Structure 1
Amino acid sequence: MAVLGVQMMMLRQQVADEGMWAVLQRLKELDVDAVEVSQIPMDETNTAALEQGINELGIQVGALSVALKPGPTATGDNLEEHYDKVVADCRRLGTRFVRIGMMPFTAMVSKEACEAWAAEVEPAASKLADDGITLCYHNHHVDLAKFDGERMFDIVRRVAPSVHFEVDLHWVQRGGMAPLDMLKEYSGVCKLIHVKDFRVVPVPQEAVDKMMSGDVAGGFQGFLNIAQFAEVGQGNMNWPELLPAAEAAGAEFFFIEQDDTYGRDPFDCIADSRAYLKSIGY
């Protein structure tokens, strides 16, 4: 069975305020077995605390987040400037996966730009593979956009065959593809999965008020913005089917993630997601 963890992007403020070790202890109390580190500095303090979490709590560091090179969407270490550090961190923490969370916006505008970016990623992925580390690319909804009938996700797969994938099932659904279809098409290269639910909420009163006051455009904008990230089990995703399909596709880690908790304490959101997953056998 895939190892169940949390994408720590959700807890970056808590790590900054309370420290990595305190956060890991709270996650262990919630029956979380692994973490994926993203948008949190991999400095010595945090890395040492992660090492302590492995040794004393039994929490795995399932994946570390990297960028290919510096840029506006790059947070933390990048493979161009910090390759040796990334490999050293993985070896120190027993981590077999690193993941790129998003391609640069400049790579999203055309087929040629996407191919050029993927061609830069391939040698980095190959080099990491030689060092025993698998590079995964994480999708958003934009990765389901097509150039000449080919999805951006498939361009990456074609041009960079050494790259595996972290499939975010929420963003797949938001991008207009059935998540089960995605898992079937990417069977064998889906190593990491973001377990994130998709919720549609009622039209807010503010949108109704705008519409009734004559602000039709504002009212429709409120109507269009009713899709939300949700605690697992509190949206419309079919997890009892999706999770076994993800394991069949080769997933080794499931990471609970919720990009926005809408004012709720993220630990409470994680607790709700964990309780639901336990109720369906995970």
Structure 2
Amino acid sequence: MTGKAYPLERRALLLGGGASLMLAGYAQAKPRTPMLGLADTTVRKELTRDYAGTLRAVAAMGYGLFGFRLASYVANDPSEPTPQDKAQMVRDAGMAVGVVRLGVRGGDYDRQFDQAAAIGARIVALTTAPIFIASRTLGQTTRAALDTYIPQLAALGEKAKAAGLTLAYHNHWYDLLPLDGDRPLDLMASRIAPDLLSFEVDLAWAWYAGVAPLDLLKALGPRVVSIHLKDIDRTRGTAITDHAVAPGRGEMDYAALMPRIGQRTRATGYVEVDNPEDGLAAARGAMAYLRGQ
């Protein structure tokens, strides 16, 4: 997709500079050559067939970090490796444990924080707020529910901090859309202290919401501790998550985006493709494309 022509308004959105955000600014960081991580979502199908073998294949592509869920994708799945086993297989493959993910629907967070600390994780991510998956429509909630939830999220951050961990909230498109005049992500950032809540910025979901990815990175500044790298192809599939493709295979013009990311943040980028037909092929293609930028 390098060199592809994009409509002026889309390039302006990509490069940012015009969005009005309510969050704090950030001084530019020095450019760097980033280490790339992979989120387990990309190779979920392959992991269920051969967890250790899939990790070895991922490491051979050049990924240095692997992020995974502490809980199983399927409740009470006896075939799911324990967090300790996952961490050991990651290290045996030659990678380091990256961002680990909490169960979205709650559960025993104290136990999950203990597990994360025990395997040497530093960042625990919350994929989304439970209030956004409580209704039949993904991302739909009320302002009252959000106002009630934000103190709960702050309390979760307190627990993570006590365990020596950093809690990061992962954005989607819906928490960047106004809810009764305010964007949920803005309210989380303004109402919760930075030492209790950081952010894992998904560039593609920001783009999907009409938010310039670079503007969001700059606005959140040092609170960004992880980045998810994927692209958007609205012609693919029917569900919104079907539109997620590997960087360089969609409409976002990563060739223009990648050189500027290092000027906005020092956070590690993780390739995450939500529902690829072939996860290993998606991971391999993403690595080849991003290393070429």
TM class, shorter-length: 0.7 to 0.9
Q: Which residue is equivalent to 1:96?
A: 122
* Structure 1 runs not aligned, ≥5 long: 68-72, 205-221
Distance 1:60 1:194, change over 3 A: same
* Structure 2 runs not aligned, ≥5 long: 1-32, 74-79
- 2:60 maps to 1:26: no
Distance 1:148 1:134, change over 3 A: same
In 2, Cα distance between the equivalents of 1:127 and 1:141? 27
Equivalent residues in 2 for 1:85-234 (5 A)? 85-104=111-130, 105=132, 106=134, 108-161=140-193, 162-201=196-235, 228-234=243-249
Contact 2:61 2:287 in 1 (8 A): yes
Residues 60-104 of structure 1, C-alpha deviations (whole Å, 9 max, x = no match): 11111114xxxxx53xxx4x5141x32332233221100111112
Contact 1:169 1:195 in 2 (8 A): yes
- 2:93 maps to 1:57: yes
Residues 195-249 of structure 1, C-alpha deviations (whole Å, 9 max, x = no match): 00112439x9xxxxxxxxxxxxxxxxx8x98x82222111122334434544444
Q: How far has the Cα of 1:21 moved from its partner? A: 1.4
Equivalent of 1:7 in 39, 42, 63: 39
> As a proportion of its length, which structure holds more helix?
1
In 2, Cα distance between the equivalents of 1:230 and 1:52? 27
Residues 94-144 of structure 1, C-alpha deviations (whole Å, 9 max, x = no match): 211001111122484222211211110101102211322100111111011
In 1, Cα distance between the equivalents of 2:262 and 2:140? 29
3-state DSSP of counterpart to 1:188: helix
Q: How far has the Cα of 1:190 moved from its partner? A: 1.0
Q: Whose RCO is larger (CA < 8 A, sep 6+)?
A: 2
Q: Which residue is equivalent to 1:36?
A: 67
Instruction: State the identity %.
Output: 23
Q: After alignment, is 172-181 or 7-16 more displaced?
A: 7-16
Contact 1:193 1:251 in 2 (8 A): no
Distance 1:259 1:192, change over 3 A: same
3-state DSSP of counterpart to 1:187: helix
3-state DSSP of counterpart to 1:158: helix
Q: Which residue is equivalent to 1:242?
A: 257
Q: How far has the Cα of 1:45 moved from its partner? A: 4.4
Q: After alignment, is 103-112 or 165-174 more displaced?
A: 103-112
In 2, Cα distance between the equivalents of 1:179 and 1:243? 11
3-state DSSP of counterpart to 2:210: coil
In the alignment of these two chains, the number of paired residues is 247
In 2, Cα distance between the equivalents of 1:198 and 1:33? 24
Residues 34-69 of structure 1, C-alpha deviations (whole Å, 9 max, x = no match): 111138639654532422432x333111111114xx
Letter in 2 for 1:139: N
Q: Which residue is equivalent to 1:81?
A: 108
Q: Which residue is equivalent to 1:266?
A: 279
RMSD of aligned C-alpha atoms?
2.8
Q: After alignment, is 152-161 or 107-116 more displaced?
A: 107-116
Q: Which residue is equivalent to 1:277?
A: 290
Q: TM-score normalized by structure 2?
A: 0.75
Contact 2:214 2:264 in 1 (8 A): no
Contact 1:118 1:156 in 2 (8 A): yes
Letter in 2 for 1:278: R
